[in-house]
């Protein structure tokens, strides 16, 4: 059985933050690994993605995601978009007003953000790590949705690494605070004398500053290995690879 997390802010729109439960993969990838870029068996990943597509009510080829590259690039999916080509497109956000297409992002600590204006019939999906968040991918996605007619947008930051698990270097903190000292509020002192970064807190703040009603699901990928893959946890365990979670939304 798949485990699909949903949120009231996106009621009325098909959506889900899928955990690792209910998939065909094994070993390090046990469960629902949907990352074609992992070293998992391609057949298992295809089965996993097909299960997600079925849960989202679309054909497997209409469950689409990008070549995520930690950019602020946004792709608007229209009626003539070559869906197969999106797999190789370097971008980190998708928006559409087309029914029957499930927009998806893959994560393993970064923020998966699902957005919707149900009345306008416009949706979006964003992959936002620290680099994309700093670069403006969230604001770019909101702007692209508004270009399609969205006005009353709700957004949810799904399972991501929480501040208590996200130790970073002072140089990363300075990349944020040099341009905007107010961003220091998203960093706190950690037990090793290094900053602890509140990535989902910043994501929600950026969404709200853009005029979007937003919440975090409050699920930490690092701290719940039974439900979530985590790049950082795998690194700390010296594992050779890690699975990727999928989050999707469709009209």
- Residue 182 pLDDT level (bands cut at 50, 70, 90): very high
What pLDDT, on the 0 to 100 scale, is given for residue 136?
98
Which pLDDT does position 208 carry in this prediction? Answer: 98
Assign 179 a pLDDT band (cuts: 50, 70, 90).
confident
Q: Which two tokens stand for residue 189?
A: 């002192």
Q: With residue 43 as reference, give the H or E element that holds it.
A: helix 42-56
Instruction: Report the largest interatomic distance among the alpha carbons of the chain, rounded to a whole angstrom.
Output: 52
Q: What percent of the chain has pLDDT over 70?
A: 100
Q: Is the pTM of this model over 0.75?
A: yes
Q: In 3D, which of 198, 201, 208 has the Cα closest to residue 155?
A: 208
199-246 pLDDT tens trace: 999 999 999 999 999 999 999 999 999 999 999 999 999 999 999 999
CB 223 within 8 A of CB 109: no
pLDDT average, residue stretch 86-98:
97
Q: What is the pLDDT of residue 145?
A: 98
For the chain, the distance separating the N- and C-terminal CA atoms, rounded to the nearest angstrom, is: 23
Ordered by where they begin, the domains of the chain are 4-162+198-246 (3.60.140.10)
């Amino acid at each position: 059985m798949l485990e699909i997390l949903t949120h009231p802010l996106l009621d009325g729109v098909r959506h889900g933050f899928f955990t690792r439960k209910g998939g065909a993969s094994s070993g390090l990838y046990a469960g629902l690994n949907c990352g074609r870029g992992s070293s998992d068996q391609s057949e298992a990943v295809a089965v996993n993605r097909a299960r997600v597509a079925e849960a989202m009510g679309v054909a497997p080829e209409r469950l689409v995601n990008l070549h995520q590259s930690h950019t602020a690039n946004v792709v608007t999916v229209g009626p003539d978009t070559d869906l197969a080509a999106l797999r190789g497109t370097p971008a980190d956000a998708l928006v559409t007003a087309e029914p029957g297409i499930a927009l998806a992002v893959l994560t393993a600590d970064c923020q998966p953000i699902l957005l919707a204006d149900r009345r306008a019939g416009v949706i979006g999906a964003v992959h936002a790590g620290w680099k994309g968040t700093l670069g403006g991918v969230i604001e770019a996605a909101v702007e692209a949705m508004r270009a399609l007619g969205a006005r009353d947008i709700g957004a949810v930051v799904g399972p991501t690494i929480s501040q208590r698990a996200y130790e970073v270097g002072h140089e990363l903190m300075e990349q944020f605070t040099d341009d905007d000292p107010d961003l220091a509020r998203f960093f706190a002192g950690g037990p090793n004398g290094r900053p602890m970064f509140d990535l989902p807190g910043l994501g929600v703040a950026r969404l709200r500053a853009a005029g979007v009603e937003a919440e975090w699901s409050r699920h930490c990928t690092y701290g719940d290995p039974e439900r979530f893959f985590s790049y950082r946890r795998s690194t700390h365990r010296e594992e050779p690879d890690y699975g990727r979670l999928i989050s999707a939304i469709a009209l």
